[in-house]
A and B are shown apart, each in its own frame.
Chain A
Amino acid sequence: QKEVEQNSGPLSVPEGAIASLNCTYSDRGSQSFFWYRQYSGKSPELIMFIYSNGDKEDGRFTAQLNKASQYVSLLIRDSQPSDSATYLCAVKASGTYKYIFGTGTRLKVLA
Chain B
Amino acid sequence: DTGVSQDPRHKITKRGQNVTFRCDPISEHNRLYWYRQTLGQGPEFLTYFQNEAQLEKSRLLSDRFSAERPKGSFSTLEIQRTEQGDSAMYLCASSHSRGHEQYFGPGTRLTVT
A positions within 8 Å CB-CB of B: 4, 8, 32, 34, 36, 42-46, 49, 51, 88, 90, 92, 96-104
Contact = CB atoms under 8 A, between A and B. Distances in A.
Interface in B33-57: 33, 40-45, 48, 50, 55-56
Interface string B41-81: 11111001010000110100000000000000000000000
Interface of B: 33, 40-45, 48, 50, 55-56, 58, 89, 91, 100-107
Contacts, number: 55
10 contacts: A44-B43, A44-B104, A46-B101, A49-B101, A97-B55, A98-B45, A98-B48, A99-B102, A102-B42, A103-B42
Given A32-B100, A46-B101, A98-B56, A88 B48 contact: no
A57 to B, nearest CB: 17
Of listed A34, A51, A92, A97, residue having the most chain B CB within 10 A: A97
Given A42-B106, A43-B105, A46-B101, A104 B42 contact: yes
Contacts of A99: 33, 43, 45, 102
Given A43-B91, A43-B107, A44-B91, A101 B43 contact: yes
Contacts of A103: 40-42
A88 to B, nearest CB: 5
